[in-house]
Structure 1
Amino acid sequence: MELWKSLAIAHKTLAARLAKEPCEMEVRHLRYFIAVAEELHFARAAQRLHIEQSPLSRVIKNLEHLLGVKLFDRTTRSTRLTLAGQVFLDEARHVLFSLQRAIASAKAAAKGYRVRLRIALSDDIDPVRLSALLAQCREEDSDVEVRLFEVPLTQQLVGLRYGLYDAGFSQALDEPDGIVSQIAWSDSLVVALPSRHPLLAHKHIPIEEMRRYPLIQCHPQNCEGSHRQIQHYLRTLGVEPIISEQVATFDLMMVFVAAGFGVGLANESHANACRHLDVVTRPLSGGRAVVTRLMRLDTEPSAPLRRFLDRVVSLDACTDSST
């Protein structure tokens, strides 16, 4: 309770400061601040923004000077948000989301679209199913623009709550408060192996055999949802894999597998989209699926969004009947 009281006081103080002394703030101030606030590490934030660390530090100092408040507590060992920084992070995200929404709306209006659906994509969504869905939307709802945003899962959830996105695809395990989801489709979990590997003697790979080899997996920051599903599956079996590499994309996973660094574990659509001549895939013994969900706010959907949701259901039914 004391923390919430402190946050409320900090919010009022910061709002009063901004109202009294309007500052010449730039969009980059907000982008840079959000990156540091989310990473809590200036070097990683600079790498994420593709800039040097020193100009990033200068921008943050300039922002603190403009606001007249301290946003971060920095030591040689750590970087933490102050109470004012926590309040400002929430508001900064909202401002950026609103700006992006305004830009997208203006562009859609200029192209002649009357309605727009903003769909977030996380966890490297199956391109084959997605293209089929978009083609159906274009044919049946030609006056509705479908805008896609590739974002991390955490950003998708924040964007759904702030109204930046109407819905989003991800492979999240849980439904956070205020968010509902429906199953969009599911993929078999497969093992990617070098073209000459002892495990190819099995048509279905026993998990007990696979665990003997180093595992190459997609980095949890890039594929958070699918990573959690796979880790949850392995934990339920009592399997602790030997991780040899964490890669940013499934294409790179296949490169490492082909080079013999280990075996890969991925859903079938990713493996098919990233085929490599020297990589063979086999299903896991016992079968296991990675589920993709369509998430949205727990409110009554608009008519265009309802039609979109219905198409996702029909797409999944068509996929099941064709397999």
Structure 2
Amino acid sequence: MRTDLKHMRYFIVMGEEQHFARAAERLHMDQSALSKAMKDLEDDLRVSLFERSTRSTRLTYAGKVFMDECRRVMNVVQQARTTAQAAAQGFRGHLRIAISDALAQPRMTELFTLCRSEDPEVEIRLFEMPVGQLVRALQQDEVDAGFTLLHEPGEGYTAEPLWHDEVAVAMPARHPLFGRKRVKLTDAVQYPLILAHPELCQGGYAYVDAMLEKLPPDSGQPMIAEHVSGHESMLMMIGAGYGVGFAIESQIAHFQRDDVVVRPMESGLPPVTTYVLRGVNEPSEPLAKFMERARRIGGLQESERSFGPAPDAPPDAAQD
């Protein structure tokens, strides 16, 4: 037997589950047939891919290495399929763009509108995912670039700042802070907080966490009422009176609700920076043009842009 795509697909599922019954169920096949397929694969490769016992089935080191290679091969095959399908529909290229941290900023709308106007023959596919998944997707060539609020260090990709935004506080209508033109952070934290989820919206959570750490000691310990996965959930909780929340001012202004008001924060707070992450290899022509448009819309000077991993990001930031 020569190792083929079918056996690679079986092995990936088996490696993820590390349990023959669960893997067979996912693959809609008989467990004995899956067991034989894995044995044939090991015989063909002349290596042991699994450590088997009566209680568990685990990947060997060779199995883990082979898993990475199988995923790379399957990604290449999927990309070939996507390219062929896009070509059949009249496109002359495609981009896989990931969105993290529940980003839906006006500048991003402007960017994708510009791409559609200037390069309509390039298909853009969008994927929403947490930052940790975005990092792995870049490393495994599953996406071409991704947007996040987290300046993420790591191998195989770079992080580049695109634009800065101001932070604002959202509060229930008729809130005691309603009359303020600008809200001080020390005043906002006197009320229960609705914050971004530390895993699902890691970039937003990291920004607010850093902001709260700089509070004066006499401000008291902020009370966290809830962690939410996105702006819709946050605004629902705020509108119901459960607390206040922080968000990008330009983005939150587009969520118009009668039961929520938005006020800018005090001056002096650091801006919220949106980054684009991409692979370190020479970009394809569609990706190079996409990056050029993103920089054009971002408007940062050359000296403000950083190419490469950030040395000051938290070391465990990629965990989700």
Same fold at TM > 0.5: yes
Corresponding position of 2:263: 282
Distance 1:225 1:58 in 2: 36
Distance 2:52 2:152 in 1: 31
Q: When the two structures are superposed, what TM-score results if normalisation uses the length of structure 1?
A: 0.72
Instruction: State the AA in 2 paired with 1:314.
Output: R
Task: Give the direction of change, closer, same or farther, for the CA distance of 1:84–1:196 in structure 2 (3 Å limit).
Answer: farther
Instruction: State the AA in 2 paired with 1:126.
Output: A
Corresponding position of 2:209: 231
1:292 to 2:277 alignment: no
Equivalent pairs: percent with the same residue?
Answer: 34
Corresponding position of 1:268: 249
Distance 1:248 1:139 in 2: 32
Distance 1:56 1:22 in 2: 18
The more displaced of 299-308 and 257-266 is: 299-308
Shift of 1:26: 8.5
Distance 1:105 1:269 in 2: 35
Task: Give the direction of change, closer, same or farther, for the CA distance of 1:72–1:144 in structure 2 (3 Å limit).
Answer: farther
Distance 2:162 2:114 in 1: 15
Q: When the two structures are superposed, what TM-score results if normalisation uses the length of structure 2?
A: 0.73
Query: Which consecutive unaligned segments of at least 5 residues does structure 2 have?
Result: 40-48, 301-320
Corresponding position of 1:5: none
Distance 1:126 1:83 in 2: 41
The more displaced of 309-318 and 190-199 is: 309-318
Shift of 1:253: 0.7
1:124 to 2:102 alignment: yes
Shift of 1:305: 2.1
Match of 2:115 among 108, 129, 137: 137
Q: Which has the higher contact order (CA 8 A, sep 6+)?
A: 2
Shift of 1:271: 1.4
Shift of 1:232: 2.0
Shift of 1:128: 2.7
Instruction: Summarize the alignment of residues 52-131 of structure 1 with structure 2, pairs less than 5 Å apart.
Output: 59=26, 62=31, 66-67=37-38, 70=50, 83=61, 86-87=64-65, 90-91=68-69, 93-131=71-109
Shift of 1:312: 0.9
User: 2:158–2:277: 8 Å Cα contact kept in structure 1?
Assistant: yes
Instruction: Summarize the alignment of residues 204-243 of structure 1 with structure 2, pairs less than 5 Å apart.
Output: 204-237=182-215, 240-243=221-224
What are the superposed Cα offsets for residues 257-305 of structure 1, whole Å, 9 maximum, x if unpaired?
0111111111124412333210011122133421111111223323332
Q: How many residues align?
A: 282
